[in-house]
Amino acid sequence: MSTPPLHVVDSDAHVIEGPELMGELMTRFPDKVRLSAPGEDGALVIEGRPYPQSRGPGAGCPPAQGLNPAAEPFTSEGVVRDADREGIDAMVFFPSAALGLPAFTDAGFAAEFARLYNRWLADYCRRHPGRLYGVGVVPIEDVGASIGIMREAKGLGLVATMIPAVLKTRNLDHPDLEPFYAAAAAIDMPLGVPGAPGIHLPMLGSQRFDNYLQVHCVSFPFDMMVASTALVLGGVFERHPTLRVALLESGVGWVPYFFDRMDEHVEKRGRLTPECKRKPREYIERGQIFVSCEPEESAIPFAAEVLGAHFILFASDYPHWDSDFPHATRPLRERTDLSADTKARILGENARVFYGLPRG
């Protein structure tokens, strides 16, 4: 098999919701969305809660420290200039402020916020066709509304839909979500699961810390392990064999360990999770699970060797503080412990497959 040409796709960048969208939201929902007042936590107050919440258990990033100072992310033109500086051919955008939408408490407001955001993001990406792609949001606590909004997002040209690692009281294998997964599979809409502390999503271990560094270390991999446990052992991938899900912002080093662990549990106690009808790693093998890596991770060669190179995605987290912009791609491009084929797949080909993007 020949090595695919190098076409770099950033599988998990973040858009900065600009004044046009935020102004519309604050005008339409003055009782729900406003800017934080001096001395208040967060950059925004949504439904009376700070976004992000940077104090207390599970603290998120202080707003003033959230962005990479080398980036110019506030217009689509600035983003494309930054992509050119990095040698990135295409970027796929998850939200920033809207990361917390799955935890909004007013279902009607969450649905209207999602529709406005998705329309705004689709228009933002259309300004640079082939370079910028968007991921839609849905008010997942309301499954019926989410199915309709996801279908609208597909019609707008958005290439995936964001879901959280867990819902407020339900895990991702809850029977209520089955119609949503069936709809996503039917329209070939992949799902992306990002991590994000401090935005009022359910906390999976990070509530034990109020230091943002400790929260950040714990929250992302815990989120992805819990999501994996539900999706794999709960039989979601078995029931929906064409569904694709990306687990993001936690690196790839946890995957060989955790899937070995799940394999062993299925082998020894699989009767307790009869919905999972095969070894968990087989869902990776058949292309249903993708995971983003940190470009400098020492575990990438091992993960590619034991599970295949086809499921690992390059992600920069641009323009957030932990992005290495303007050198995010350099660690992967310059690695000597990965073949040219593996680097080409991780840097772009796998994202093209996951998101269904055209070839560059």
In tens digits, what is the pLDDT along the chain, a chain of 360 residues?
555 568 999 999 999 998 999 999 999 999 999 999 999 999 999 999 999 999 999 998 888 888 888 888 999 999 999 999 999 999 999 999 999 999 999 999 999 999 999 999 999 999 999 999 999 999 999 999 999 999 999 999 999 999 999 999 999 999 999 999 999 999 999 999 998 899 999 988 899 999 999 999 999 999 999 999 999 999 999 999 999 999 999 999 999 999 999 999 999 999 999 999 999 999 999 999 999 999 999 999 999 999 999 999 999 999 988 888 899 999 999 999 999 999 999 999 999 999 999 986
**What DSSP line would sit under 202-219, residue for residue?**
PPSSGGG--SHHHHHHHH
- Helix and strand element counts for the chain (H, E): 13, 11
Q: Distance between CA 104 and CA 334 in Å, rounded? A: 42
CA angle 89, 102, 58 (to 5 degrees): 95
Question: Whole-model pTM?
Answer: 0.95
